[in-house]
Homo-oligomer: A and B are copies of this chain.
């Protein structure tokens, strides 16, 4: 179902992306203000299309920013990085692109495909290959299902663009691109993977842009009603509230291109009731009183207790009063093959995946 995304969609959509980011994907305030400025500059709307509207032989490509969320709100983008990367790919393959894809719906990376679509005059497909955000490039349904991530393009704020032409594994793409991203100052624009329409359709998780917007709509509606939005928001993603409390400790270091660390919350009322969350850009594992209550790829989302505002990893600080939501991962991330790439062990945690009931959508 085709629709036009306009200025009034921007706030709820950005809130929803922030929540689906589970901590990562980049600062959505900065992403949203950039999108709004592009919308004002370029006719006020961008077309969102269904995956099936892309021809089987048409070329499509995901875009997003690679880097740590802690960098995303300090090092702003120049503005034309995505277009430079996409044009370099078009030139490299000698074919034009027919639509822009979202590389991850979480955080500012959910918003940036709209910016790129506006800049290139292309529609954006409703869907993404994660249904959330993940820290590493091999962690999407395209790579999980064996599609090549190459050719891909990486560009920096100075107009420099590199094309990864042929690579033997998605893990190598991640390692080499991470080294370049660090050298670029901690963030880089990524156009990847380049796909034929048919491969996109067979692997994309559909309608996640619409889901983000529905989540944001609920946040705004609850705010208007003066209610704490946690329960209602969790319900949109078929999840539940894991915890309510105050952040009492944050350990966070930006190391080797990632924001890594742990945070601790104490429940309201009972100082012995704690929740700890480990993160690598995104929230990965949650322990309540030392017992695991949520595991990646299920979503662990931190929002402001009163306003439902998503709290990215870069914004975590002592004293914030928050609700922690748990939402089940999309079913595409819960196959044995997918769990090898995005389950707890893939992040170095020797614990089983403890799936929440249901699916994100």
Contact = CB atoms under 8 A, between A and B. Distances in A.
B160 A162 contact: no
A162 B165 CA distance: 5
Interface stretch (A167-175, A226-234, A307-315): A167-175
Contacts of A153: 165
Interface stretch (A69-77, A179-187, A201-209): A179-187
A40 interface: no
Nearest to A168: B158
Interface in A193-238: none
Contacts of A259: none
A182 B180 CA distance: 11
Contacts of A163: 92, 162-163, 165
A111 B165 CA distance: 27
Nearest to A152: B162
A164 interface: yes
B179 A162 contact: no
B172 A165 contact: no
Contact of A166 (B159, B164, B179, B184): B159
B183 A179 contact: yes
A162 B161 contact: no
A349 interface: no
B176 A167 contact: no
A88 interface: yes
Contacts of A159: 166, 168
A88 B162 contact: no
Name, among A168, A182, A183, the residue most crowded by chain B CB atoms within 10 Å (CB to CB). A183
A88, A163, A180 interface centre (most CB from chain B within 10 Å): A163
Given A88-B166, A92-B92, A158 B172 contact: yes
Contacts of A180: 176, 179-180
A164 B167 contact: no
Interface of A: 84, 88, 92, 153, 158-168, 172, 175-176, 178-180, 182-184
23 contacts: A84-B166, A88-B165, A92-B92, A92-B163, A92-B165, A153-B165, A158-B168, A158-B172, A160-B164, A160-B166, A161-B164, A161-B165, A161-B166, A162-B162, A162-B163, A162-B164, A162-B176, A163-B163, A175-B183, A176-B184, A179-B179, A179-B182, A180-B180
Given A88-B165, A160-B168, A162-B164, 6 more contacts: A92-B165, A159-B168, A162-B165, A176-B183, A176-B184, A179-B180
